Structure formats: structure tokens, C-alpha cells
Amino acid sequence: MSQYDVCIIGSGAGGGPVAYQLSLAGYTVLVLEKGPFLKQNDYYKDELACCRRSVYTPNLTDEFHVIEDYAGKDEQGNYKWSSESTLDSGWDFWNGNLVGGATNLMSGFFHRLKPEDFRLKSEFGEIKDANVVDWPIEYTDLEPYYAMVEQIVGVSGRVTPHPNMEPRSTKEFPYPATNEHPITKFIDHGCEALTLHSLPTPRAILPTSISTQRGGCQYSGYCGSYGCASGAKGSSREALINAAIASGNCSLQDRAKVTRLISDQTGKVIHAEYIDKHNQTKTVQAKIFVVACQAVETSRLLLSSIGPKHQQGLGNQYHQVGKNMLFSAGGSGSGEFYYDDYNAEQAQQLKIRGPFVNRYLQDWYFINDKKLGRAKGGTVEFLLSHPNPINRANGVKWGDDDKLVWGRALKQKLKAAFTQSQKLKFEIFCDWLPTDDCFVSLDSQHKDKWGSPVAKLRVGYHDHDLEVGNYILERSKKIFEKMNAKNISGSVSGSPPPNLQAGGCRFGNDPKTSVLDKDCRIHNAENVFVTDGAWMPTGGSVPYTFTIYANAFRVADLIKKQL
């Protein structure tokens, strides 16, 4: 049986920083990753692989989830829920089942949380039927680690002061901004007309090469949902795992499915049990275990880890594991810019593909409104429609009568979609309020190919999320009107985006209402930490990856002290 100082389960944003810091500090580290170890040369701009087939996610015949979705109310006004497996629905709740996790496939929007995000309840008060709490740490506890991520992972951009800007210990990002698309001028002018602050987006993407291993961005236009072939994207694999392995102190076992953590009579975990790629069951021993499987799967693993002191699952003595799951609320919209409406030079600029839009707004991060009162708002991110030709073509096959278009009419629609206009989109990121109707449990009726119960996930949302999303949506559409865009549309949804998940093992000071202490250590298991987004009690109004990275670096320092 192998013995290590630290065993890390998962290699994404939560696992990578811990492996990096501890292995470079001289500790022996083993990373167990369920997915394959793909390298730069394995990534292609292949839309079929990315978006039509299960290449970066498990095959749903091998593993799936059971989803409980909202199905109206009964006669007494109580919520009803419908249950369906993702094997039947095709609604995939996996993202990034490979070394480096979902960070391989991110768009790289790297925004910090604000100090107010750490004290949501104190700042904005209670919301009926929402389990809002303050964090057990402050922004100042995490700020040095945000700066560390910017340097080590590699964040590019320009720091631009604005009314809702968070405090920084560094004046600038360590890398200059990536190339910008000419359409940013349209956005800047539209925002200026409305006295809004159009800000350059910080991205975990390198504009130029920094080593023989990490090149600069190739500006293919295929970024979000795709792996990076140049090493420019700041994935955990590229920025952290590779360096950890190169230290000589970190071993990585891919295609290793961890089934449970085995604890002794005192409650301390002594072994991790996993099934390797040859379908052999093995165990590994370590002083400290770090769970970073992504939020849904982390809750599933802890619930599956029964022991003498953990009869309901590891860390679940007060039935808190899996509770208060978070996704990202908000919505999206778009507008079209027809080339014929502009002169030849402007039209040529609009046709450009590759550079990033690199613009966002946080003017509505905090809201003062007659209806909503003082409330947390969100972030608006601008981006071009994805160049995926299959998806773009598939989107024009329906006519106004909801019937399929054929022949010449279809050809004309396809030609127009690809040659007559540029579509600009916006995405809204808002807080997904934690509620009693969004949680993970085990489904004893369904098991994966290894015989483990699959995760059952209820995905209820709070109506307040939609109210905030619609508030920002209507104001965002006015920017597109100022830009003279056509066919402006948008929507807000309570459907959870699976690639943005957190919660389920929230940290806090009271074991009765949290799974982890402020150091992200399980309350009644002194040698187990959780470092993926599961620890977050509230999510903020930005994508989670940057904050997960920063907190994992913080926890790595705490683990070093414990060792």
C-alpha cells in the first residue's frame, strides 16, 4: 500500500493549487483523477468532440445523475418535483472529467468577489426561503491569494478603476490584455451614452508565450468549451499540475475512480479506495486527504464514505452534506450587426474572428430599486457568438411557423447566418440563492458502472434570482439599442448551468449548519479538506473559478502548517 503526505481527489481548480504548493514545498503528493490525462497535442478545434459527444465527460451509460426538476405546484400550493435520469434526458451535469477538470474548458473570465460578497446576510438582510449567511472569512483573508493566482496561473488585463471596484494589493495584472475585437468600440460608445462603465475583462489567458511549455493565445475564436492547444489558457493542468509533477514530489493517477474514504474509530480518514483503469480496486494511505471532485461529485463521495464515526457519511453528522447547492443565476441576450449598415472598413472589422471582446459591466453589481430595494445584482459579460458552425447552422433550420425549412429557403438562411451579420451576445451572472430545494443526495435505485449509487440532484431556484436577472437584462438590452443593434433579444432562466456549480459542503463556524470549518476542514474529520467550489456558502455574481483557485492556495498554506 502506497503512503503519501497528501492525497488529492480531483485535479481541477480546487485540487491543482494544493498539489502545486505542497509538492513544491517538498511534500509527497498523490493526485487521483477519474478522467484521462490529455495533453496540449490532444486538443483540437473539433466541434463534434466538444459539443456533440461525450469526450470530456463520462459516457452517460457508465455514469449519470438523477435530476429532480420543478414541476409546478399541487392544490395546496406545495412544489412538485419530477425525477429523470440524465441518461434518459441527455441533460449532462458533467463538465471537465479529465486532468485539470473544467478549467481546461473555461472561457477564463477572472473576476474577484467584492468584500460585500463575504457578508451577504449582514449587507442585504435575510430573504424569505433563502439560506443566506455570512462567510467565516473576510475579503482581506483571500485577497493575497487572488494576487497569487494572477501571477502563478496567469491573468491578463488592465486594472480600470470603477465605482464598484474591490480593493487590490497590486496595481496591475501581471500580463497585458489579450487582443481586443473592434466591436469593443461599439460597446464602449453604447455604455458611454448611458453613463455606464465599460471595463476590460481580466482573463486567465496569456497574450504571449512565457515558457517553452506555455505559449500565447493563438486567437482561433474557439476558446470556451474547448481545450487549449498552445498552453495559453490558465487551466489547472497547464499552470499547476504539470509543474507539480515536474517537481518530482507529485504523482498522478488518471482514470482512477475514488469510491469512498475509509475512516477509523476516531473518525480520522486513513485510506482512499479507488478503482483503476484496469478495474482493480486499490487503496492509498495519506496523512491528509483533499477532496476536490467538483461540487456535486464531492457531496456524493462524502455521502458514500460511511465509517464508525460517520454513520450518515463523512462530515454529515448534522445532515448538511449536499445541502445548499449553488449554480449561477442570470440569463443571456444578443443583438446583430448587419454588415450592409456600415461602410466597407467598419464591415471588414466586424467580420474579424479570433480576438476577444474583453468587455464587462458591474454597474449593477449592487442595486437600489423601488421594487427590489437594496439588493445584490450581477455582472454583465460581452462576447461574440461562438464560431461553432454545426450549432450555428442548426439554429436556423426552423421557420416562423415552427416547421423545418428546406431547399432554397434553407440555403438562403444559412448564407445569411454566415455572411451577412455579426452576432454580439451578453451573459448575466447573478447570485444563485441557496435554498432547501437545491441539494444533492444519493439515489439508491441507480448505480454507476462501478456499483456506486449515483448523485440525485434537486435543482430548485429562488424567484428572487429571476427578479434580479430581469432587472439587469432589461438594462443590458438598452446598451444594444444605443449600439444600433438589430434583432435584440434576451431571457432569464431558473435552469442551472452545470458548468458553474458550488455549495453542498459549505464552510462556517457552527458544525450544525456547515460541513467545514473556516479552513475548509471537515468539522469532525481533522485530516480531510474540501477545496473545490463545494465549500462556498454563497456564490457571488461572477464565475466561481477564480475564487476556487484563490481559496485552494489559501488552504494549501493551512495544510502545510498542519503537516
What is the spatial distance between Cα 359 and Cα 199, in angstroms, rounded to a whole number?
A: 5
Q: What single DSSP character describes residue 102?
A: G
Contact between 285 and 271 (Cβ < 8 Å): yes
What is the spatial distance between Cα 110 and Cα 339, in angstroms, rounded to a whole number?
A: 32
CA distances from 522 to 19, 270, 305, 507 (A): 19, 14, 13, 9
- The answer to whether position 79 is within a domain reads no
Torsion of CA 405, 406, 407, 413, to 10 degrees: 20
What is the spatial distance between Cα 389 and Cα 386, in angstroms, rounded to a whole number?
A: 8
The residue count for the chain:
563
What is the spatial distance between Cα 250 and Cα 103, in angstroms, rounded to a whole number?
A: 20
Q: 143: which residues sit within 8 A by CB, 6+ positions away?
A: 112, 167, 168, 169
Q: Which three cell numbers stand for residue 275?
A: 478503482
What is the spatial distance between Cα 99 and Cα 12, in angstroms, rounded to a whole number?
A: 7
Task: For the chain, give the longest Cα–Cα distance.
Answer: 76
Contact between 439 and 323 (Cβ < 8 Å): yes
- pTM for the predicted model, two decimal places: 0.97
461 closest CA partner among 322, 296, 324, 297: 324
- The answer to whether position 260 is within a domain reads yes
The amino acid sitting at 392 is R
Where does 327-437 show beta strands of DSSP type E? 329-338, 359-361, 366-369, 373-376, 378-384, 421-430
- The answer to whether position 262 is within a domain reads yes
3-state per-residue secondary structure call for 188-234: HHHHHHCCCCCECCCECECCCCCCCCCCCCCCCCCCCCCCCCCCCEC
Residue 539 has what pLDDT?
Answer: 92
Q: How far is CA 33 from the centre of its chain?
A: 18
- The answer to whether position 417 is within a domain reads no
Phi/psi region, residue 156 (left: phi>0; alpha: psi -120 to 50; beta: rest), is beta
Q: Which three cell numbers stand for residue 428?
A: 448575466
β partners of residue 376 = 366
Contact between 542 and 112 (Cβ < 8 Å): yes
Residue 48 has what pLDDT?
Answer: 86
Residue 9 has what pLDDT?
Answer: 98
CATH number at residue 269: 3.50.50.60
User: Domain containing 308: what range?
Assistant: 1-40+91-106+111-154+235-328+437-458+500-563
- Structural domains counted in the chain: 1
Task: Give the pairing of strands 359-361 and 329-338.
Answer: unpaired
Considering Cα of 144, then 538, then 105, then 23, what sign does the dihedral take? positive
Residue 1 has what pLDDT?
Answer: 57
- Summarised one tens digit per residue, pLDDT across range 517-559 is 999 999 999 999 999 999 999 999 999 999 999 999 999 999 9
- The answer to whether position 420 is within a domain reads no
The amino acid sitting at 145 is Y
Residue 396 has what pLDDT?
Answer: 87
| Count of C-beta atoms within a 10 Å radius of residue 344 | 8
CA distances from 109 to 232, 294, 474 (A): 14, 18, 23
Q: What angle do CA 93, 94, 99 make, to 5 degrees?
A: 165
- The answer to whether position 473 is within a domain reads no
Residue by residue, pLDDT tens for the chain (563 residues) are: 568 999 999 999 999 999 999 999 999 999 999 999 999 999 988 888 888 787 888 889 999 999 999 888 888 888 889 999 999 998 888 888 999 999 999 999 999 999 999 999 999 999 999 999 999 999 999 999 999 999 999 999 999 999 999 999 999 999 999 999 999 999 999 999 999 999 999 999 999 999 989 999 999 999 999 999 999 999 999 999 999 999 999 999 999 999 999 999 999 999 999 999 999 999 999 999 999 999 999 999 999 999 999 999 999 999 999 999 999 999 999 999 999 999 999 999 999 999 999 999 999 999 999 999 999 999 999 999 888 888 888 888 988 888 899 999 999 989 988 999 999 999 999 999 999 999 999 998 999 999 999 999 999 999 999 999 999 999 999 999 999 999 999 999 999 998 899 999 999 999 999 999 999 999 999 999 999 999 999 999 999 999 999 999 999 999 999 99
Contact between 528 and 18 (Cβ < 8 Å): no
β partners of residue 233 = 205
Q: What angle do CA 561, 562, 563 make, to 5 degrees?
A: 90
Contact between 32 and 284 (Cβ < 8 Å): yes
Q: 257: which residues sit within 8 A by CB, 6+ positions away?
A: 34, 274, 275, 450
- The answer to whether position 334 is within a domain reads no
Coil, helix or strand at residue 326: strand
- The answer to whether position 547 is within a domain reads yes
